Structure 1
Amino acid sequence: KGWAENAARQLEQDVKNGASGLKIYKDLGFSVTDISGKRVKVDDPRLDPIWEKAGELKIPVIIHTADPKSFWDPMDSMNERWLELATHPGRKRSNTDPAPWDTLIAEQHRMFKRHPKTTFIAAHFGWYANNLAKLSELLDEMPNVVVEFGAVIAELGRQPRMAKQFFTKYQDRILFGKDSWVPEEYTTYFRVLETEDEYFPYHKKYHAFWAMYGMGLPDDILKKVYYKNALRIIPNIDKSLFPD
Structure 2
Amino acid sequence: GKDNDETGKKKKKKKKRRSSHQTSTSASSRDVEEFRDQETPVTLPLADAATEYYPGFAVRKWPDPVLRHVTSNVPASVEKRDLVVIAGKLEQTARSKGVTALAAQCCGIDASIIVLLPQNDVLEKTLLVNPRIVGRSPEANKVEYDEKCLTLQIMSKVWRDARVVVEYEDMDGKTHVLHAHGELARCLQHEIDHDRGILNLDLVESNLLLDEIWEIEGPTHAQRMEIARSRTISE
More helix, by proportion: 1
More strand, by proportion: 2
Higher relative contact order (CA 8 A, sep 6+): 2
